[in-house]
Structure 1
Amino acid sequence: MIFLTLGPVAHAEIRILGLGDSLMAGYGLPPGDGFPDQLQNALRATGIDAEVVNAGVSGDTSAGGRARLDWALASNPHAVILELGANDGLRGLEPAETRRNLDAILTTLDEKGLPVLLAGMLAPPNLGQEYGAEFEAVFRELAEKHAVLFYPFFLDGVVGDPALNQKDGIHPTREGVAIIVKRIMPRVKELISKSKTAAR
Structure 2
Amino acid sequence: MIISKKLKLKALFTGLICIFLFTGAYAANPIKIMLYGDSLMAGYGLSQNENLASELTRNFEDNNFTVSVINASISGNTSKNGLSRVDWSLGDKPNIVVVCLGANDMLRGLNPLLTMENLDSIITKFNQSNSIVILAGMQSPESMGPDYKIKFDGIYPKLAAKYDLIFMPFLLKDIALEKKNLQADYKHPNKRGIKIIASNLYPYILEGINRLEK
With the length of structure 1 as denominator, give the TM-score of the two structures: 0.90
Partner Cα distance (1:47, 1:21) in 2: 30
Q: Name the CA distance, whole Å, in 2 between partners of 1:33 and 1:12.
A: 25
Q: Deviations over 1:121-147 (max 9, x none)?
A: 001221012111110110100000011
Distance in 2 between residues matched to 1:26 and 1:12, nearest whole Å: 26
Task: Summarize deviations over 1:145-200 as a string: whole Å, max 9, x none.
Answer: 01110000000011111111000000001110101111121111001111233xxx
| Letter matched to residue 145 of structure 1 | K
Tell me what 1:76 maps to.
Answer: 93
For 2:155 and 2:61, the matched residues in 1 are separated by: 33
TM-score where L is the length of structure 2: 0.84
Question: Partner amino acid for 2:183?
Answer: Q
Which residue type is aligned with residue 189 of structure 1?
A: L
1:32 to 45, 49, 56: 49
Query: Paired residue for 1:66?
Result: 83
Q: Does 1:175 align with 2:192?
A: yes
Deviation at 1:12, TM superposition (A): 4.5
Question: Deviation at 1:45?
Answer: 3.1
Among 105, 130, 137, which residue is 2:122 paired with? 105
1:80-139: per-residue Cα shift (whole Å, max 9, x none)? Answer: 110111111111111001000000011111111111100000012210121111101101
1:175/1:48 CA distance change after superposition, 3 Å: farther
Aligned residue number for residue 153 of structure 1: 170
Secondary structure of the corresponding residue to residue 60 of structure 2: helix
State whether structure 2 residue 1 is matched by structure 1 residue 20.
no
Q: Where do 1:108-187 residues align within 5 Å?
A: 108-187=125-204
Please give the root-mean-square deviation of Cα atoms over the aligned residues, in Å: 1.4
Aligned equivalent of 2:105: 88
Count of matched residue positions in the alignment of Structure 1 and Structure 2? 188
Q: Is the 8 A contact 1:62 1:102 kept in 2?
A: yes
**In 1, Cα distance between equivalents of 2:34 and 2:51:** 14
Checking the alignment, whether the CA contact within 8 Å between 1:12 and 1:51 is kept in structure 2 is: no
AA partner of residue 61 (structure 1): T
Deviation digits for residues 54-82 of structure 1, max 9, x if unmatched? 00100000000000001112111111110
Give the number of the structure whose alpha-carbon radius of gyration is greater: 2
Structure 2 match to 1:53: 70
- The answer for unaligned runs of 5 or more in structure 2 is 1-27
Runs ≥4 residues deviating over 4 A: none
